[in-house]
Amino acid sequence: MRIDKFLSNHGIGSRKDVKALIKKKQVTVNDIVIKKSDMHIDENVDVVKVNDQVIKHQPFVYIMLHKPQGVVSATEDRDQTVIDLIQGYEHYDLHPVGRLDKNTEGLLILTNDGQFTHNVLSPKKHVDKTYIATIDGIVTDKTIEQFKVGVTLDDGYETMPAMLKILSTGETTSQIEIIIQEGKFHQIKRMFIAVGMKVTYLKRTHMGQLALDPSLALGEYRLLTDEELKLVTQNSTS
């Protein structure tokens, strides 16, 4: 790979910016100052530094986003997308791992690793997705049992069993936690409609055992660690 492509792909700047850094003798390969921006390197072996800072080869990135309401979980749309929120990673071909409805908040992972996405979303994997929600209606033990065996959606689809937990109830509303292993269109909202209730607020808090970082405000994001990546496919119900 050319050194200017390598550095621009890792967020150092445009190829023009990289060329300027090389001209200023601020780029080294294996501790040797380089003079040409078209020099080829082995990104898996050579040690590249900019101002003595090692630039590690990152073929894949994994980003945790605290998705706000009003943003579409897509790569392109006429409305604002989750990709539009991510700055500094334009050189990666990012996509969301699954989706959250436009008016749903919470944990969303973005990556350029298609195999990781497949592993998380494959029906055979049955990865838990945990949500908290406000329900217009009173959730009871009967509702918990209905969700435990699965409910029939408006199109006739029979959902997989879901784990429902009552967090609190008021006069006309309920706060609940729900764990599902599917991702049908508006699934949780449609599940509650099927039992005569309405979701008025929905937030995803976990994927597998990976929890949304509480320090991330709505719209904020950060890279996932290697250990956090492993948690995604480790179910909270296992």
Which residues participate in catalysis according to the annotation? 101
Q: Which residues contact 170 (CB under 8 A, 6 or more apart)?
A: none
Structure tokens at 237: 């119900």
State the Cα–Cα distance between residues 91 and 83, nearest whole angstrom. Answer: 12
**Cα angle for residues 23, 19, 40 (degrees, 5° grid):** 105
Which strands sit side by side in the sheet containing 32-33, from one edge to the other?
32-33, 27-29, 48-50, 53-54
With the C-alpha atoms ordered 142, 147, 153, 158, is the resulting torsion angle positive or negative? negative
Query: Is-contact 25 33, C-beta < 8 A?
Result: yes
With the C-alpha atoms ordered 116, 209, 219, 103, is the resulting torsion angle positive or negative? positive
Q: Which residue has the tokens 């996509």?
A: 95
Q: For residue 76, how many other CB atoms are within 10 A of its CB?
A: 8
101 vs 5, 82, 104, 203, CA distance in Å?
Answer: 36, 11, 5, 10
Q: Which amino acid is at 55?
A: I
Q: Which residues contact 175 (CB under 8 A, 6 or more apart)?
A: 132, 133, 134, 135, 166, 167, 168, 169
